[in-house]
């Protein structure tokens, strides 16, 4: 709001040389309070006016006037604007309190975005390695909706491919039906790991696995029955984690769904003369990229075949304006190839496909590996997080709440926030101690701030009724400015597909309010009480919405 209004008066003073939007992109927030609230750099104007930025700034300072601007100063080619805090505060609080949960939302666009995320492999445990795609994708879905889009959430389950030939082979050789019925995922993981250990010295196992998968593709009844069993047991277990994380999908159609839809795609590639034979396999040659493998020598399909088919199906079914693939950086080349093949097929909408890559979750500095049995299970981490939250609440928790329920919200929130506060492109070293820390830059700190405000509002008997504005004082101003920045943060976080912006913002806002709380008697019985409570309520609304955009609950009591 502040930036938008100042951008308008600068654009007017420049007589349209720069549009309001162009000015808005140039505006900065000074790092130090003594340099004002908003800064406009004049360097881009030097060529047009043929003057130094400092001279342009001096001249512009006189032209830019508004009842929102208290004063303007020039410093090194910048015009630094100091805002009328009382007037700006009234405008910002009025906007937040009027819009409530909708504050920061963009207009509905009547356009769809498909987001492909989480996508664990069946017959394998849900490890911490799957957490990143799951929580980044979920947050990106919320951010897309906040920016006006309808979102189709797709859990593209890994339920097809040669790994199932390996699992079927392992079950036939060493499987125990009773044990698998008792602990399906644990036993299936052990079979999978055992297969890879044995295959190191017996390569014939890999031949058996390829034959088993080929039989599965061709509809072999025994292979299909085993595959269905493995899939059903896996989905049951996955659902328990999704319930804890508060995640629901619009579609769980995995790779197997496209098994009978791939042949027309291969035929289309052939009809368009895009297929060539390489060592008996069919590939599509690509410019500046390795060839994209479509079918193996034995005719078996691959990830690329299924992803091409899935992309075509989704475009025809949902007609999205964008499709996001939230998958680790290690698949960058794969998606470059798939997108390039679609473009060669003549599908212009392939330009709207985007790979949202992210760094790996590392254990002792190396990647998790199901084959080697080197995994950290999400179930264990969530259980420990909830237990830690319950222990930290101790005997001092509010007895009006369900302790276990709130501990679950805090523990799960701590795990999600620990991931999302980091830039998604960075690798993360798994640290249970850091993940479960409830002090510092953590989700529980933001949740606790929200709960503290809820308690203040209850004690102050706050009712959302208009009251005569009263000056809040300088200690509230940093938090008020942050409230003003929320819509821009929401938009930028979506545009850069980076939930960490919202996470870091929520920490800043929580710190700013707690600093205000430490220096102000909010519940003091004077004429400014209702304004202080209204301000506190505005902060709680934005904190709660920030947490929601990260997929985290905001308890009212802790």
CB atoms within 10 A of CB 196: 17
CATH (residue range 118-251+310-367): 3.40.50.620
Q: Looking at domain 2-83, which CATH architecture does it have? A: 2-Layer Sandwich (3.30)
Q: Which two tokens stand for residue 554?
A: 């905001």
What is the signed CA dihedral for 202, 203, 204, 207, rounded to 10 degrees?
150
378-549 adopts what CATH topology? Isoleucyl-tRNA Synthetase; Domain 1 (1.10.730)
536 DSSP 8-state letter? H
Q: Which two tokens stand for residue 16?
A: 């349209």
Angstrom distance (rounded) from CA 93 to CA 168: 61
Tell me what percent of the residues of the chain surpass a pLDDT of 90.
Answer: 69
Q: Identify which of 250, 220, 226 has the alpha carbon closest to the alpha carbon of residue 168.
A: 226
Tell me what percent of the residues of the chain surpass a pLDDT of 70.
Answer: 96
The crossing angle, in degrees rounded to 10, of helices 162-174 and 204-217 is 110
What strands, in cross-sheet order, belong to the sheet with 289-295? 275-278, 281-286, 289-295
Q: Is residue 437 scored above 90 in pLDDT? A: no
513-516: list long-range contacts, CB under 8 Å, 24+ apart.
513/449, 513/453, 513/479, 513/539, 513/543, 514/449, 514/452, 515/475, 515/478, 515/479, 516/475, 516/476, 516/478, 516/479
Q: Identify which of 419, 122, 374 has the alpha carbon closest to the alpha carbon of residue 245.
A: 419
HEC string of 63-78 equals HCCCCCEEEEEEECCE
Q: Is residue 367 scored above 80 in pLDDT? A: no
Region(s) of the chain under CATH 3.30.1360.70: 2-83
The alpha-helical segments, DSSP class H, found in 347-402 are: 378-393
Region(s) of the chain under CATH 1.10.730.10: 378-549
396-433 confidence digits (pLDDT tens): 556 667 888 999 999 999 999 999 999 999 988 877 77
330, exposed or middle or buried, with CB in 10 Å at 0-12, 13-18, 19+? exposed
Q: Is residue 244 scored above 60 in pLDDT? A: yes
Q: Sign of torsion, CA 351 486 24 43?
A: negative
Strand, coil or helix: what is 444? helix
58-92 confidence digits (pLDDT tens): 999 998 988 899 999 999 899 999 999 999 999 99
100 DSSP 8-state letter? G
Give the lowest-confidence range in 3-12, 266-275, 362-371: 362-371
Q: Identify which of 522, 524, 547, 548 has the alpha carbon closest to the alpha carbon of residue 536.
A: 522
Q: Is residue 262 scored above 70 in pLDDT? A: yes
What strands, in cross-sheet order, belong to the sheet with 366-367? 366-367, 361-363, 428-429
131-134: list long-range contacts, CB under 8 Å, 24+ apart.
131/361, 131/378, 131/415, 131/419, 132/328, 132/358, 132/359, 132/360, 132/361, 132/419, 132/424, 132/428, 133/326, 133/327, 133/328, 133/358, 134/245, 134/247
Give yes or no for a contact between 72 and 66, defined as CB atoms under 8 angstroms apart. no
Q: Sign of torsion, CA 368 372 375 379?
A: positive
188-240 confidence digits (pLDDT tens): 888 988 998 999 999 999 999 999 988 998 889 999 999 999 998 888 889 99
Region(s) of the chain under CATH 3.40.50.620: 118-251+310-367
Q: For residue 469, name the pLDDT band (cuts at 50, 70, 90).
A: confident
Strand, coil or helix: what is 124? coil
Q: How far apart are the first and last CA of the chain?
A: 33
């Amino acid at each position: 709001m502040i930036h938008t209004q100042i951008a308008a008066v600068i654009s007017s003073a420049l007589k349209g040389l720069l549009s309001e939007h162009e000015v808005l992109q140039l505006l900065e927030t000074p790092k130090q309070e003594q340099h004002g609230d908003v800064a406009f750099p004049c360097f881009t104007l030097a060529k047009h006016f043929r003057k130094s930025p400092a001279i342009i700034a001096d001249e512009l300072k006189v032209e830019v006037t508004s009842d929102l601007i208290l004063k303007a100063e020039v410093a090194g080619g910048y015009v630094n604007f100091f805002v009328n805090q009382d007037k700006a505060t009234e405008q910002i609080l009025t906007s937040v309190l009027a819009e409530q949960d909708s504050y920061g939302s963009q207009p509905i666009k009547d356009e769809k975005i498909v987001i492909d995320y989480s996508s664990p492999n069946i017959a394998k445990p849900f490890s911490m390695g799957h957490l990143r795609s799951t929580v980044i994708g979920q947050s990106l879905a919320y951010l897309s909706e906040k920016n006006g889009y309808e979102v189709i959430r797709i859990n593209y389950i890994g339920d097809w491919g040669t790994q199932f030939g390996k699992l079927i082979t392992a079950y036939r050789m060493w499987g125990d039906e009773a044990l698998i019925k008792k602990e399906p995922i644990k036993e299936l993981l052990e079979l999978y790991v055992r297969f890879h250990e044995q295959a190191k010295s017996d390569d014939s196992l890999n031949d058996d696995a390829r034959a088993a998968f080929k039989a599965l593709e061709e509809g072999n009844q025994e292979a299909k029955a085993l595959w269905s069993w493995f899939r059903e047991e896996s989905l049951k277990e996955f659902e328990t984690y999704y319930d804890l994380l508060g995640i629901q999908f619009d579609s769980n159609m995995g790779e197997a769904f496209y098994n009978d839809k791939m042949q027309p795609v291969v035929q289309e590639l052939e009809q368009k003369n895009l297929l060539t034979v390489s060592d008996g396999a069919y590939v599509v040659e690509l410019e500046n990229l390795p060839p994209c493998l479509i079918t193996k020598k034995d005719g078996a399909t691959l990830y690329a075949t299924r992803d091409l088919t899935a992309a075509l199906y989704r475009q025809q079914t949902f007609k999205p304006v964008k499709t996001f693939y939230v998958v680790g950086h290690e698949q960058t080349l794969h998606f470059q190839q798939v997108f390039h093949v679609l473009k060669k097929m003549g599908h212009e909408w392939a330009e709207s496909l985007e790979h949202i890559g992210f760094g790996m979750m590392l254990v002792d500095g190396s990647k998790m590996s199901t084959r080697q049995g080197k995994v950290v299970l999400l179930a264990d981490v969530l259980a420990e997080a909830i237990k830690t939250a319950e222990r930290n609440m101790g005997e001092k928790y509010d007895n009006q709440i369900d302790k276990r329920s709130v501990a679950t919200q805090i523990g799960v929130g701590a795990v999600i926030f620990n991931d999302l506060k980091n830039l998604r492109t960075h690798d993360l070293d798994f640290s249970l101690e850091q993940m479960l820390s409830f002090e510092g830059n953590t989700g529980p700190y933001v949740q606790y701030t929200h709960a503290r405000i809820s308690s203040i509002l209850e004690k102050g008997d706050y009712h959302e009724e208009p009251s005569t504005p009263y000056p809040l004082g300088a200690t509230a101003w940093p938090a008020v400015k942050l409230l003003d920045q929320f819509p821009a943060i929401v938009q930028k976080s979506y545009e850069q597909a980076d939930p960490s912006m919202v996470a870091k913002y929520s920490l800043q806002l929580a710190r700013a309010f707690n600093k205000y709380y430490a220096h102000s008697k909010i519940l003091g019985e004077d004429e400014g009480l209702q304004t202080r409570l209204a301000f506190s309520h505005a902060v709680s609304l934005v904190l709660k919405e920030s947490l929601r955009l990260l997929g985290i609950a905001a308890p009212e009591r802790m």
